[in-house]
Every structure is written in C-alpha cells, then in structure tokens.
Amino acid sequence: MVEVPIPKEKWTGKIGTTIIGATAEDGGTRGKKVVIGGETGMPFLSFEGSIVNRPAIAGEVIDTLRDYPLLARKAFGDAVEDPVQWSKAWVEKYGVDLICLKLQSTNPEEENKSPQEAAETVRKVLAAVPVPLVVYGCGHEEKDAKTMEAVSNIGAKERLLLGHAEESAYKSIAAASMANNHALIAFSNLDINLAKQINILLTDFGVKKENIVADPLMASLGMGLEYSYSVNERIRLAALMGDSMLQVPMVCDTTIAWKAREATEENDKLGDVDVRAAWWEATTALAALVSGADMLIMRSPKAVEIVKKALHELLGGD
C-alpha cells in the first residue's frame, strides 16, 4: 500500500510572543511568568509548525456581583464575595495560569467606585496570589482612563495585561501600559481589518508589538460562534502568511457563553443546567483554541477542567 504524504503548508510568518507577569529577577513578585504566542503554524497541526507555549487559561474574578449569575457562583461559594478569596480559589483549587480581574464596580452608572479603590483591589489580589494578572475596567471610556492609570501605577513592575484598547479609545490605556511596561489587549469587533488597524494605531502611538495581545471578540456557541471562528482563523492565516501587524498572540473571553439563553435556562428537557452551562463555555473555548487563541478567559471551573483535558490530548498527551 502506497503511503500518501500529509500535505504541508510552508509558512513565512511567525506569531510573536508576549510575556505577562514579572518574577523577582524582573523586579516583580509573581511566582511565574506566562508567555503566550510563538506559533509557526496553525493550531495543533504539529506536522506543519510548532506550538512553543501552551495556551494559557485565566480565571474570571469580578469585583461586584451585580448581574453575576447565581449558577456561576456555586463552584466558589462565599469566596465570590471577596475578589481576594475568589482569586485564591481559582489558583489553589482549580490551577489556572492567570487571574482576570474585571473592575466592574467602577462603572459610574452603577456602584461608581473610585479608581483608587479599584487599584487597591488589584494590590490585594497581587498580594494574595502568585500568578500574573489580567485587569479590565468597566467599559466606560472616561472612567477606565483614570482607573487604568491608577492600576498601572499600583501594579508597577508586575507586568500586568491591561484591557482594553479599541480604535475609538486607545491613547489613555496605551499611555498607562507604557508608563510601567505593562502589556495591553487590543480589542476589535469581529473584523480582520479592524484587528489590524488597532495594532497599527497602537504601534504608531509607541506601544511595542511584543506588548500587544489581540482580542477579536469571541462569540459563543449559538450566538455567532461560526463567524467569530472564521475571523480568528483569517487573522491567524494572514499572520502566518507574513502580515506583521497581525503577528501578535490572541486572547478570547469565553465567559460570553453565559449570555446564551440555552446555556443557562432552567429546562429539564435540556438536561442538567450545571453540566450544560459548563459544556457550553467549554465548547466555545475549544472553538477559540482551534481557531487561534493563545489565552482564554473563563468563568466555569468545570469548563476549565474540560479544556485542560482536551489541551493535554491536542498537545500529544497520552
């Protein structure tokens, strides 16, 4: 029987790497650094290229429980009342690589906590866990500018990943990231051209490319997953074919899966809602990984467990 060789693409491009976190030798206090990116081929096609760094997983922590689903609180119990204890549970019990702290309490239309209060929360979480931090504001442009400045200063030398910069508002967060050598997330809305444009704007402003992580907006299962998958894949293909402005690691926030009604609806005909919600997020996360994600932001510990097992097998584990 004649063996047919596996067709292989020859890529001219390579995904750059981004370091998150700083250890003592770098002047920080993290127990480890997380490095993402570095691929020389499409995801998990080891016969074409290499995956230098295993995709990382960040556990979501929010500093307010307003609008946070009760179903998602079960795995953490009372720990969700305190971002510090919540972060510790993610690290010590579920073994995530990073913590993603979302400072929703700063929203001026809700709790309106000050940038200084938010920065103090970041300081407490940094003191409580050894892993690197991803930090988001509340999504209010003016408030986030002040919040990220305070967060950048209190996390100086810790090499945070700050989120996020977008075309209509990038200068303030870019300045905050550059002031203390933090990395930042470049957000675009399901469009390869927008993904490229925000990277061009950031680098023109002075942000080094190795400090940029792209977020092309991951849609969940049942809410546009196929389209966002194709956008992620097109970005990665263009980068490997030599488009230098797209050769940055990619992050996908899979907590969006919890917005799908089918994921969390209490309906006996749809099966156990706890299992269903976890698998809904895990399916979204796996699609993100196969389409090019280097880092995931996740909500469900059960979904994290599923993804970890899948990653082990995809990367050649027994």
pLDDT digit string (tens) for the chain, length 318 residues: 778 887 888 899 999 999 999 999 999 999 999 999 999 999 999 888 888 899 999 999 999 998 899 999 999 999 999 999 999 999 999 999 999 999 999 999 999 999 999 999 999 999 999 999 999 999 999 999 999 999 999 999 999 999 999 999 999 999 999 999 999 999 999 999 999 999 999 999 999 999 999 999 999 999 999 999 999 999 999 999 999 999 999 999 999 999 999 999 988 888 999 999 999 999 999 999 999 999 999 999 999 999 999 999 999 875
Whether 80 contacts 54, CB under 8 Å: no
Question: CA 260, CA 249: separation in Å to the nearest integer?
Answer: 27
Whether 194 contacts 173, CB under 8 Å: no
Q: What's the structural domain count of the chain?
A: 1
pLDDT of residue 318: 52
Question: CA 137, CA 171: separation in Å to the nearest integer?
Answer: 15
User: Which residues have CB under 8 Å from 204's CB, separation 6+?
Assistant: none
Does residue 184 lie in a domain region?
yes
Reading the block at residue 246, the tokens are: 């797209």
Angle value at C-alpha 100, between 206 and 42, nearest 5 degrees: 70
Question: CA 277, CA 240: separation in Å to the nearest integer?
Answer: 34
Does residue 1 lie in a domain region?
no
Does residue 190 lie in a domain region?
yes
What is the residue type of 53?
N
Does residue 8 lie in a domain region?
no
Whether 21 contacts 131, CB under 8 Å: yes
Question: CA 170, CA 243: separation in Å to the nearest integer?
Answer: 22
Does residue 6 lie in a domain region?
no
pLDDT of residue 270: 86
Question: CA 307, CA 282: separation in Å to the nearest integer?
Answer: 6
Does residue 289 lie in a domain region?
yes
**Largest separation between any pair of C-alpha atoms in the chain:** 71
Does residue 9 lie in a domain region?
no
Does residue 263 lie in a domain region?
yes
Structural domain of 265: 17-314
CATH number at 235 reads 3.20.20.20
